Amino acid sequence: MQEQQSTRRRTAFVTGASQGIGAATALALARDGFDVAVASTRPAKLAGVVAQLAAAGARAVTVALDVCSQSGIEQAMAEVTGAFGHLDVLVNNSGVTLRQAAVDVTPAEWDTVMRTNLTGTFFVTQQMGRHLIASGRPGCIISIASTHGVVGIAGRSTYGISKAAIIQMTRMLAIEWAQHGIRVNAIAPGTVETPSRAGPLADPGYREMMLNRVPLHRFGTAEEVAAAACYLASPQAAYITGHTLLLDGGLTAH
């Protein structure tokens, strides 16, 4: 099964697309010629992204999605595939972060992170796998992991464990679904200056500590992560599957 260019516009679904990396990825895909479905737990927050997608010439579809709800996942995927007819690319971007010493993590905090980052990502991916296998067409799944899933750092154990699991999910599903022409990859960014990171990075001590871990001595941008996602979604990456692309300014090269 080969990924081919056809006259039909390619379609993508980006979860957690109201801001940050998700919004940048949706826009970059639109500029690459995709029609894009964007999801948020608060769809009203998608208005700005939708306007940018339309300005880029893409058809935009918005859906409400809380990845902690199985019925919500199934409904959102049905809405997206119903609107587009077929979905080529899924970008699992939704996620929550947690900075908490391991000795202080509560079961509720653990559950929130795992249900959102791991369980939610798995079951959205499962829906996409079912859709692609049923359609008999190739497709591409990209999950946003993190360098915290690759190397250790104090105070991020719960989050890092959830992202490490996404990296292993990527390998497992790449093997299981290769026979269907489905490529499964991940991107592991280091620190990216998005709105959700503005609070912690406003602390000069924390900012300096994080910056000093990065050989290129700067943080990444949402647009750089988006460009990597576009590459992995493109025919140029047709031989890449099961891979996690480290996008970290050299952080994990130490």
Ligand X SMILES: NC(=O)c1ccc[n+]([C@@H]2O[C@H](COP(=O)([O-])OP(=O)(O)OC[C@H]3O[C@@H](n4cnc5c(N)ncnc54)[C@H](OP(=O)(O)O)[C@@H]3O)[C@@H](O)[C@H]2O)c1
Measured from the CB of residue 132, what is the shortest distance to ligand X in angstroms? 21
Q: Does position 67 bind ligand X by CB under 6 A?
A: yes
Q: Applying CB under 6 A, which part among 47-55, 59-67, 73-81, 206-214 lies near ligand X? A: 59-67
User: Residue 38: CA atoms inside 13 Å, Cβ hemisphere, count?
Assistant: 33
Q: Does position 144 bind ligand X by CB under 6 A?
A: yes
Q: Does position 95 bind ligand X by CB under 6 A?
A: yes
Q: Tell me whether residue 66 or residue 74 sits nearer to ligand X (CB atom).
A: 66
250, two tokens: 């050299």
Instruction: Mark residues 174-213: x for contact with ligand X by CB under 6 A, - for none.
Output: ---------------x-xx-xxxx----------------
The Cα–Cα gap between 40 and 58 comes to 18
* Beta bridge pairs of residue 61: 37
Provide the H-helix boundaries in the chain: 20-31, 47-55, 70-84, 107-113, 121-135, 157-177, 198-201, 204-212, 222-233
- Give the residue, chosen from 12, 13, 18, 61, that forms a contact with ligand X under the rule CB under 6 A: 18
Per DSSP, the three-state class of 143 is strand
Instruction: Mark residues 207-246: x for contact with ligand X by CB under 6 A, - for none.
Output: ----------------------------------------
Q: Applying CB under 6 A, which part among 4-12, 29-37, 89-97, 229-237 lies near ligand X? A: 89-97
Indicate the DSSP class of residue 153: -
Measured from the CB of residue 190, what is the shortest distance to ligand X in angstroms? 7
Q: Tell me whether residue 15 or residue 185 sits nearer to ligand X (CB atom).
A: 15
Measured from the CB of residue 243, what is the shortest distance to ligand X in angstroms? 16
The Cα–Cα gap between 11 and 13 comes to 7
Which residues, numbered 37-56, are part of the site for ligand X (CB under 6 A)? 40-42, 45
**How many Å is the Cα radius of gyration of the chain?**
17
Listed in sequence order, the residues at least 6 apart from 233 whose beta carbon sits closer than 8 Å to its beta carbon are 12, 29, 32, 34, 88, 89, 91, 140, 142
- Angle among Cα 19, 216, 188 to the nearest 5 degrees reads 45
Instruction: Mark residues 112-131: x for contact with ligand X by CB under 6 A, - for none.
Output: ----x---------------
Q: Does position 14 bind ligand X by CB under 6 A?
A: no
How does strand 182-189 pair with strand 35-40? unpaired
The Cα–Cα gap between 90 and 246 comes to 19
Active-site positions read: 159
Q: Does position 81 bind ligand X by CB under 6 A?
A: no
Q: Tell me whether residue 41 or residue 52 sits nearer to ligand X (CB atom).
A: 41
**Residues of this chain that bind ligand X (CB under 6 A):** 15-16, 18-22, 40-42, 45, 65-68, 93-97, 116, 144, 146, 189, 191-192, 194-197
